[in-house]
Structure 1
Amino acid sequence: METLTSIPWWGWIIAVLVLIALRDILQKKKTIRHNYPIVGNLRYMLEKIGPELRQYIVANNREELPFNRSQRSWIYASSKRQNNYQGFGTDQDQYAPGHIFIKPNMIPFALGENHINKTAVDKIPCAKVIGAFNNRKRPYRPKSIVNISAMSYGSLSAKAVESLNKGASQAECYHNTGEGSLSKHHKHGADIMFHFGTAYFGVRSEDGKFSLDKMVALVNENPQIRTIELKLSQGAKPGKGGVLPASKITPEIAEIRGIPLNEDVISPAYHSAFSTIPELIDFIESIAEATGLPVGIKSAVGKLDMWEELTDQMIKTGKGPDFVTIDGGEGGTGAAPPAFANHVSLPFVFGFAQVYQIFSKKGLTERVVFIGSGKLGFPSNALMAFAMGVDLIQIAREAMMAIGCIQAQVCHTNKCPAGIATQNKWLQAGIDPTLKSNRFYNYIKTLRKEILEITHASGYEHPCQMTMKDVDLSMGDNNYTNALEEVYNYQKVPVPFAGMDTICEEKETAEMV
């Protein structure tokens, strides 16, 4: 009788294939594998690696969404201080509808010999002071026009949050906490925008309601918190709540968010602290009065009737939010059902244009700081947003790519291969916060530098001076190009601006640091 050791190697291969074939034929869950044993498995293997094949082999430089290869390559090269130039002209279709054209001036803006940007080539503070109009006790002028958008610890890993915060400290931009509350990973030197939503994580009472006492205590214990953002909705899933399963709640997350360990936690679709626009304004004022900080709102855009009511109430009462963040329906790191991500709420440019016009026609643009969010982490997109009326931009996915995100699009699975959008200890072990924070700093520095260079080419000193006439969009076919004011049918209200040297060198009090 032939022994096992005498069986040739190809005999073992045949035996394994026979076993696989029997397994495929006997199972009833997948028809393809049953009908085509062995070979049918290739279909599922190719399906699994299909995104990677398309991303690295099949798709060209401009095909992919949400960010194409050219965009990702520019971020990666900028973050690593590599050559981010391109040669032999553009590879973009400049005749395609929606292509952005920024108009250069015949004679660019010339920096004086002692101008701040002669040496600080990327220094661009916000032209407005948040909370100045409403006389908040601690108004705030952001030192950077580019900042980190709302991404919570929980959505991102501890090392990713730490990397971003350390990089933000270097770049002097603020770090939005996201609605997971303030963690120790946010405390590495950067200014903080504390963000909270319907579950009131970090500032909730035992019954899940908002606690003003906890908000005041949090602000007093953490002077790096400079502004407070109240989330009404987000671009990824506006008007939808969420569930944080008990299985994902670690002791650290439970302590930070103020939630029980062994229970699912519901984030409702609506706030329990208010239900009307007047109540919203009163809620904002109560927080601002108790903390002394500027308070603003973040929202995706759909129906406009409540925006009309909000602005009417602001005129009537003389009160209201200190800033308004418009989140584009392009979505972000937040996991969402495809129907919400694809079809609910307007993209940034459409949503912002409509909301800005409401504030403009009622003479309220100087009372608030407008913040834009939605794929604005590129010089051309950012400058178009400034031309439309934003005062600041916030970036999320671009910041993730700067610290190593490869756009695997598995943020919702806890299996992020780059260790950024996961709580898996093994996957995030590969992140070196010292290295990654420096890469984020390099990206922000490059982005601001190129924004400033194009601003100067357009004849201006600061991006806030960009107008709707300075940017054209390609309309396709025979419509050629139209200026933004023709496309969106409004003109931006000029932003008061005393000069870069003035806002950079203004004497800072203890409350304005």
Structure 2
Amino acid sequence: MDAFLNFLSAISWWQWLLIVIILIAIRDIFFNKKHIIKHNFPVVGHFRYMLESIGPELRQYIVANNREELPFNRIERGWIYASAKNANNYEGFGTDQDIFQSNYIFINNAMIPFRLPEKHPNHEDPYFLPCAKVMGLHHKRRKPYRPASVINVSAMSFGSLSARAISSLNEGVKKAYAYHNTGEGGLSPYHKRGGDIIFQVGTGYFGIRDENGNFSLDHLVKLVEENPCVRAIEIKLSQGAKPGKGGVLPASKITKEIADIRKVPLNKDVVSPPYHTAFEGNQGLIDFIEKIAERTGLPVGVKAAIGKLDDWQKFASLMKSQNKGPDFITIDGGEGGTGAAPPSFADHVSVPWVYAFRNIYKIFKEQELSDKIVFIGSGKLGFPSKAAMAFAMGADCINVAREAMLSVGCIQAKSCHTNTCPTGIATQSKWLQAGIDVKDKAERVNYYFKNFRKEFIEVTHASGYEHPCQFTMDDVDINLSDQDFTKTLAASYEYHKVKVPFEGVSSLQNCKYLGGNYNKQASESSFEKDDVRY
């Protein structure tokens, strides 16, 4: 025994290394049954898989240029990060965009910008930018709602996002007077940190289902009565990431807390079907909307990604003839989103937001319904220039999901579906989400929304308007090839948006339906104090 120990102690470190390499080579050649590269190139083949595993990080931080990455490039992420930190979000030395590329957007500025009157809400609060329309007013709901912010948090469920991420978003929207869409995962305690809530009804009816998993109107009414923060109901028909496909929440991700909130069993996969079982067909959907609105008193809307238009045309026709239907419509782009999906769905099913919105808005305009509905855009619109295009096309609000995640600290690792999100945002790992400081991240959400609105207001004023609702389809050009083929949105998409009734921002400030607990006397900070650039 002593001789063997003396032999081991006599072996140098490089000899140990050689022994390990030989053992790995033997394993790769004779015992590896899965990887051809490791068999054909023992030991060395491991480096290939190591480099492949960190390939996204190498491309993101070293290889890709500032405008190359998708879905959000480095410049876009940098603007959100800087805005969320209330840091300098300007760029110098001119644009590095290829302004001659197809589909490039040009916003037409006015010869003389809009000048704020002496007594104007934006003098005392440069971030005040509410929706110009009121949800539920046309259909005379008992509790109409005017969003106090034109930019709000899109549908992301507790379960897909962590408790700390949801808490950060909700506390952030409270500070920014915005609303927070729950997603289809139910209303969690983390959604109830002071922000306005739009409660989403998905096909799984989580949180409002009976013991058999069916929709329960009584449960929904009780939830609304017990939670006055819920200001509207959204029925999700489909989402941009995977329209027409159901979802599966694996049993491994279902904690007792998630099971209690969603009213689902533990230790069992939870399946969301691709369709609703609480209603059938267009008339069924309208009746479902009216039943919920009547019992809750709240505005009720629908959310959908867009493909075929036949049913939308029938739906709009029924709405026109019956004077019933949704108070708002959220149009989601087929660009995909926070929901994990097969590439065939995320890449190819449903059309991009700009085409989706054009198609739906034209249908409702033909039925003379566009001025009666609040249109919400959702699909990579969380930048003032893209928002200007959306409002010119007829949007009244925009929802942001991934942009809101970036403001909390998302680094676009694209591991949302693995439960290993390195920033703790899209995971249920207690260890990973422990790094989220809710107070700090809520402030970042607040500043992203505020700085977004301030810059959006500046773009609006530069175009000669007081409020973005005044943008028209002639105010934005889209590049089709060279300048001779640059057309306005109106010429490209062949419609004009319906004029939004607007009597000035002051009239919005004094609206009794204004949400977000907005109080013009409670502005937290002044322009000079808040904005680091001045």
C-alpha separation in 2, matches of 1:137 and 1:214: 19
Give secondary structure in 2 for the equivalent of 1:208: coil
Aligned counterpart in structure 1 of residue 287 of structure 2, from 248, 272, 282: 282
Is 1:49 the counterpart of 2:44? The answer is no
**1:392 paired to 2:397:** yes
Match of residue 23, structure 2, among 16, 19, 29 = 19
Choose which of 186, 200, 213 in structure 2 pairs with 1:208.
213
- The one-letter amino acid paired with 1:206 is E
Residue aligning to 1:433: 438
Deviations 1:76-104 (A, max 9, x none): 11111221111111110100111111011
Q: For the residues of structure 2 that align with 1:34 and 1:510, how far apart are their CA atoms?
A: 64
The DSSP-based 3-state class of the residue aligned with 2:417 is: helix
Matched, 1:316 2:321: yes
Contact 1:138 1:511 (C-alpha < 8 Å) held by counterparts? no
CA RMSD in angstroms comes to 1.4
* Post-superposition CA distance 1:256-290 (Å, at most 9, x none): 01111132222111111111101110000000000
Residue 530 of structure 2 corresponds to: none
Does residue 196 of structure 1 match 2:225?
A: no
- The CA deviation at 1:512 is 9.5
Report what 2:337 is aligned to: 332
Matched residues in 2 for 1:307 and 1:65: separation?
31
3-state SS, counterpart of residue 185 of structure 1: helix
Alignment partner, residue 40 of structure 1 = 45
- The answer (yes or no) to whether the contact 2:29–2:38 under 8 Å persists in 1 is yes
In structure 2, the gaps of 5 or more residues are 519-534
- 8 A contact 2:179–2:197 mirrored in 1: yes
Given that 2:173 and 2:195 are in contact with CA atoms closer than 8 Å, whether structure 1 keeps it comes out as yes
- How many pairs were matched up? 513
Could you tell me which residue of structure 2 aligns to residue 4 of structure 1? 8
For the residue of structure 2 that corresponds to 1:321, the secondary structure is coil
Provide the residue aligned with 2:296 in structure 1. Answer: 291
Task: Say yes or no: does 1:138 pair with 2:138.
Answer: no
- Report SS of the residue matched to 2:377: strand
Is 1:217 aligned with 2:232? no
Alignment partner of 1:182 out of 176, 183, 187: 187
1:88-167 paired onto structure 2 within 5 Å: 88-167=93-172
Determine if contact 1:61/1:70 at 8 Å carries over to the other structure.
yes
Q: Aligned AA for 2:20?
A: V
1:364 aligned to which of 351, 356, 369:
369
What is the rounded CA distance, in whole Å, between the counterparts of 2:514 and 2:102 in structure 1? 48
Indicate the residue corresponding to 1:465 in structure 2: 470
1:247-258 mapped onto 2 (5 Å cutoff): 247-258=252-263
The one-letter amino acid paired with 2:471 is M
Task: Report SS of the residue matched to 1:34.
Answer: helix
- Secondary structure at 1:3 match in 2: helix
Alignment of 1:492 onto 2:502: no
Question: What does the per-residue CA deviation read over 1:51-98, in whole Å, with 9 as the maximum and x for residues that have no partner?
Answer: 111111011000010000100011111111221111111110100111
Cα distance change of structure 1 residues 309 and 243 upon mapping to structure 2, 3 Å threshold: same
What is the alpha-carbon distance in structure 2 between the residues aligned to residue 354 and residue 22 of structure 1? Answer: 62
For the 8 Å contact 1:145–1:393, the answer to whether it is kept is yes
Matched residue type, 1:140:
Y
What residue is the counterpart of 2:532 in the other structure? none
CA contact (8 A) 2:147 2:516 kept: no
Partner deviation per Cα, 1:204-252 (whole Å, 9 max, x = no partner): 1111111000000000000000000000000000001122222221111
Q: Which residue in 2 is equivalent to 1:446?
A: 451
2:74 aligns to what? 69
Q: Distance in 2 between the 1:60 and 1:510 partners?
A: 41
Show the counterpart of 2:522.
none
Q: What is the alpha-carbon distance in structure 2 between the residues aligned to residue 450 and residue 499 of structure 1?
A: 19
CA distance in 1, matches of 2:317, 2:121: 40
Answering whether residue 507 of structure 2 is matched by residue 502 of structure 1, we say: yes
- Mind listing any 5+ residue stretches in structure 1 that lack a counterpart? none
Pair 1:86-2:91 in alignment: yes
Tell me the amino acid that sits aligned with residue 73 of structure 2: N
- In the alignment, structure 1 residue 228 sits paired with structure 2 residue 233: yes
| Separation of aligned partners in 1, 2:429 and 2:158 | 13
- Measure how far apart 1:507 and its partner are: 4.5
Could you report, residue by residue, the CA deviation over 1:147-196 in whole angstroms, capped at 9, with x for unpaired residues? 00000000000000000000000000000000000000001100000002
